[in-house]
Amino acid sequence: MRHAESEHTPGPSGYDAELRRHNEVLRRAVGVQLHDHTLDIGCGTGQTTRQAARTAQAGSALGVDVSAPAIERARELAQAEGLRNITFQHANAQIHRFPPERFDLAISRFGTMFFDDPSPRSPTSGGHYARQAAW
């Protein structure tokens, strides 16, 4: 996967930069806390996952996406930022079996809008709905 020169350094670029305003609205709506364990559905290159990990310094963030190249790039960016409470998994979140009650909240910036049921029950403790942004 080739990357534009601006994508070789951490920070919003390309697609992530275009969605900056949407991302801010989602970030405020989600309200990740210091100890939260967050699942990011359809994380792409991990911008929203990295933001969750930076906020939940005593928690964790897991980003999942169906794109293996996006997951690889997400890992590179998280490593470049020195984030240690973050992981990425190549998986289809719509059918993947997540450990029960592992997450405090689930988020999605446009990932769940492609699901057969775009408002799935999320794999959070209590089965709360995922907080998501969609077109």
Res 68: pLDDT: 97
Task: Using the CB atoms, write b or e for 23-51: b if 16+ within 10 Å.
Answer: beebbeebebeeebbbbbbbbbbbbbbbb
| Domains identified in the chain and CATH numbers | 5-133 (3.40.50.150)
Q: Against a cut of 0.75, is the pTM above it? A: no
Res 4: pLDDT: 44
Q: How far is CA 82 from the centre of its chain?
A: 17
| pLDDT (tens digit per residue) in 27-51 | 666 788 999 999 998 899 998 899 9
Res 65: pLDDT: 94
Res 133: pLDDT: 45
Res 134: pLDDT: 46
Burial class from Cβ neighbours inside 10 Å (0-12, 13-18, 19+) for residue 64 reads buried
Q: Quick one: which H or E segment has residue 105? A: strand 105-109
Cβ distance 14 to 3 under 8 Å? no
Res 7: pLDDT: 43
Res 20: pLDDT: 65
Res 119: pLDDT: 55
Cα 134 from Cα 81, distance rounded (Å) = 27
Q: How far is CA 129 from the centre of its chain?
A: 15
Average pLDDT along the chain, 135 residues, taken 10 residues at a time: 43 60 65 90 91 95 95 97 97 82 79 60 51 46
Q: Which two tokens stand for residue 11?
A: 């920070």
Res 31: pLDDT: 81
**16 CB contacts (<8 Å, ≥6 apart)?**
23, 44, 45, 47
Q: Quick one: which H or E segment has residue 88? A: strand 86-90
Res 115: pLDDT: 66
Res 3: pLDDT: 44
